[in-house]
Amino acid sequence: MLSLLAASGGIADPILWSELGLRSYLFEVGSFQLRFYSLAYLIGVMFAYWHLSRMIKSPGAPMAQRHADDLFFYCTLGVILGGRIGYTIFYNPSIWANPLDVLKLWEGGMSFHGGLVGVLIAIAWVSRRGKLSFLRVCDFIAVNVPVGMLLGRLANFVNGELWGRQTDVAWGMVFCDGAPRAGVECATTGMVRHPSQLYQAGLEGLALLIIMMVLFWMTRARYRAGLLVGIFTLGMGIARFVNEFFREPDAQLAEFAAETGLSMGQWLTIPLILIGLIVTIYAVTRKPVGTGNAAPEAA
């Protein structure tokens, strides 16, 4: 157990991540491993499809089941390709030296902002083909995103990656104690750090999930086009901006963060906050949409 140092306020026995008994995979068969990070994506996408199928049965739904089926495919593609390409552009441009490495998803490296762009492109494509309201489809998709964020950040913690900045808080952890672990840099052996993955799972995942579920199922927010996606974007932007103060910047971008005063994640989040605020204001100043069982275009 942790105990506070009486003299300095530091911690006597920080938590050692390596002693938590965690591993990066659920099971392995031969050379195949079902990794928790992959499982997080799979469960997140499957939950989104299941829950969206329930949502569109509610009054005022902007789409039919066939549209949800199309969104399931194209949004999954958008998350994976957009997330990987976004990571390459914003966080690790050196990957472009060998363009085929962009497709090596198993090596890790995904960007939320890139995945967001990929999902928006997918929604735009399905909405145009089905003559649906782009904004209202975004509302219904936004409600489901926090589940994936929650599971993804928990997977980061289980993997012992994307740790936080150095700290002396009582719940600080040592993620890299010198034990060899594939794919993890141990240049900062012994440093006590924020478990920022758990902060992100709590704010960007669980808290936002509760807010979005309550708004959809217990209020009439879904009848104001753009309100749900506006609140999601605003909430995600604020949560990400705050959490970045505790997260260690990517090694290749540490100098950038020191020079600009903000991490790359924070700079990319500022537009999200502004867009979320604008869309939310737009939604609350417009009249609610109809409350029929389905939108005409989804019939």
CB atoms within 10 A of CB 98: 9
Burial of 287 (0-12, 13-18, 19+ CB in 10 A): exposed
Which of 190, 154, 195, 200 shows the shortest CA–CA distance to 171?
195
pLDDT tens by residue, the chain, 299 residues: 333 333 444 455 788 888 888 888 888 888 777 888 889 989 999 999 999 999 999 988 999 999 999 999 999 999 988 888 888 887 778 777 777 777 666 566 778 888 889 999 999 999 999 999 999 999 999 999 999 999 999 999 998 888 899 999 999 999 875 544 444 555 556 789 999 999 999 999 999 999 999 999 999 999 999 999 999 999 999 999 999 999 988 777 778 888 888 888 899 899 999 999 999 999 999 999 865 444 434 33
End-to-end CA distance of the chain: 59
Full-model pTM = 0.83
Strands 32-35 and 25-29 come out as antiparallel
